[in-house]
Amino acid sequence: MKLKEALDLPFGGKYMHPDKQRYVENLPSHEKDVVTGMYPNLDGENMTYLELITSATYKSSVERLAKYLGLSLEAMHKKHPSFSSLYNIILTNYLGTVQAEANYKQELQVLAVETVLDLPEFKIIKEMVAAGMLKIDARLDVPDLRNAVTENELKSKNGKLSTSEKDTQQLATEFVKPQLDPEILAKRSFAKTFAQGNAVNKFYLFHLVEDRLKQINPQLPKMYGIVCAGTTMSYYGMPMIEMSKSFANSAAVGSAEVINDGEIKARGANFPILVHEIVKGIYNWLTYDVATQKELDRETLDQEVLELMSGQELYNIFLKQIKVKDQPLIPFIVKDLLQHPAEVIKKVNAGKEEAGKIMPLLVRRAKITYILYKFVDDDDLVPQIREKLMKMPENEIDVIYAGGEQAEDALQDVINNLQ
Amino acid sequence: MKDNFDDLVNNLLSKTLFEAPAAPVEEPQVEPQVEPQVEPEVQPVPKPTPGPQRPVVPKRHPLQPTRPDVKPRPQATDKPTLGPDARAFIKARE
């Protein structure tokens, strides 16, 4: 039995469609099975954790929108009593951004990639791009969802097996009811929710390059703010709509796709949406290899609704556990975290005391992984050096991690003392 | 509750997450003989000097995907308020 309605939304959640509220509070079983594997305090009818992070994400979205509209929360709710009354403002500003960008696409595409890669969090990714290990193909263009799939399509496919599929009973059974690994589903769900939340936060990176944007059009930053905050609100304000491919194509303004193990393709209708897609693409590239093709094929556009409504707070909880100086290690930490049982992810998501025991160790492991890649040339020595480093005090690890002459001496000492 | 959590941390994590991983047990590698008549002696490759320098031979980056055999589906940013049919959608809602 559900004990209480835990969604706690400012002004009674006026901008949240009742469909969405019901959806979060009573998740369908296929969604629930997945998120139960990665969220703490989710059992039986208890949806507390999900409701808390969704409430917090909604609250920050409303506050941002009010800020960009130059209104207090009270004034915004009075002036715009429902989400539908915000439609035209969002749309007008969106069209304004597309028009303003029309003659500067080339410049803005490059700027979008630079803005993302200049963040400390993507320092290592920037190194990889510079070394040719990763290519980011980012364009201000229409989304490309040819390879995406919706729940609707999956359902209809179930009843329509091709002749070749029917030939093999085993394949047919697998297709109708694929045996998906709950551990992998939970990990991918975390990875995708983390990526969505991170990417929503990165909508606002345009502030870092405001001066350059104002040269294009002095109104651009303000228009971007309204569009980003307003469209984030649309995650909540829109009713639940069963996604079809044609609907997805008509509604989409951005897409992110991992083309192969060394290329990310991002498409966005304007600068902040392109930035958002680049971030999503990078994290999808970093994390997809935790799954088999079977689980990846079950990832639908529909699942993004919940990820978008709750991801921002999930990302914030994670980020709060990492010192600013350690932010370049975030990609390593996320990748490493996914190599361990989903139960560990649950503890990290819980934040506070429980995560406090785990995160410092993940950070330490990330530093060591980086040191071994960056500074140790001989693969044969890696296991022994790793063992030594794992036993070293934190301050000594930091000396090596920082690089430079002192690091060289310290690492040489480690190597000299190997058995 | 605390004890349970401590146990969990110890059991789940200590071996997998926090101890130095043991060197992987590998099957002894057998050098494939390409041609019997080819000179059998293989010159030992000098080990590169370890130290804080960039590796000479490119190696796999720890962030690179490990499964080139799988491919994720694209993700979208769906904004019915902004997409190509936005005006029609808004009109229909009104």
pLDDT along chain A (419 residues), means of 10: 63 87 83 80 69 88 93 94 86 91 96 98 96 96 74 61 43 52 90 93 96 95 93 84 68 86 93 96 94 81 81 92 95 95 92 87 95 89 92 93 91 87
On whether both A293 and A351 belong to a single domain, the answer is no
Task: Flag whether residue B36 sits within 8 Å of chain A, measured between CB atoms.
Answer: no
Whether A1 is in a domain gets the answer: no
Number of inter-chain CB pairs under 8 A, A vs B: 215
Q: What is the pLDDT of residue A40?
A: 82
Rg of the Cα trace of chain A? Answer: 23
On whether both A162 and A187 belong to a single domain, the answer is yes
pLDDT band, very low/low/confident/very high, at B71 (cuts 50, 70, 90): confident
Q: Which residues in chain A have their CB less than 8 angstroms from residue B85's CB?
A: 250-251
**Encoding tokens for residue A72?**
């207090």
pLDDT band, very low/low/confident/very high, at B53 (cuts 50, 70, 90): low
Closest chain B residue to A268 measured between Cα atoms?
B77
User: In the predicted model, is pLDDT for residue B21 greater than 80?
Assistant: no
Q: Which residues in chain A have their CB less than 8 angstroms from residue B81's CB?
A: 87, 90-91, 94, 230-231, 234, 238
Using DSSP's 3-state secondary structure scheme, residue A154 falls into helix
- Work out the average pLDDT over B78-86: 55
Task: Flag whether residue A180 sits within 8 Å of chain B, measured between CB atoms.
Answer: no
What is the residue range of A103's domain? 10-312
Whether A217 is in a domain gets the answer: yes
This prediction's pTM = 0.81
Nearest residue, CB atoms, A343 vs list B12, B50, B94: B12
The count of domains in chain A is 2
Q: Which of residues 346-375 of A touch B (CB under 8 A)?
A: 347, 354, 357-358, 361-362, 365, 369-370, 373-375
Q: What is the helix (H) or strand (E) element at residue A259, kind and residue range?
A: strand A252-260
Q: How many Å apart are CA A139 and CA A247, to the nearest integer?
A: 22
CB contact under 8 A, B81 and A273: no
Exposure letters A257-272 (e unless 16+ CB within 10 A, then b): bbeebeebbbbbbbbb
Tokens 């998501």 found at: A349
Q: What is the pLDDT of residue A212?
A: 95
Q: How far apart are the first and last CA of chain B?
A: 53
- Cα angle value A257/A150/A45 (rounded, 5°): 110
Q: What is the pLDDT of residue A247?
A: 66
Reported ipTM exceeds the 0.90 cut? no
Domain boundary among A277, A312, A347: A312
Helix pair A342-350, A330-337: axis angle to 10 deg: 130
**Encoding tokens for residue A182?**
């709950």
Q: What is the pLDDT of residue A237?
A: 85
Contact B90, B81 (CB under 8 A): yes
Q: Pick from B7, B81, B93 the residue to mutate for testing the A interface (most A CBs within 10 Å).
A: B81
CB contact under 8 A, A87 and B90: yes
Domain boundary among A312, A339, A362: A312
Whether A90 is in a domain gets the answer: yes
Domain boundary among A265, A292, A312: A312
Q: How many Å apart are CA A128 and CA A286, to the nearest integer?
A: 12
Closest chain A residue to B77 measured between Cα atoms?
A254
Q: What is the pLDDT of residue B1?
A: 46
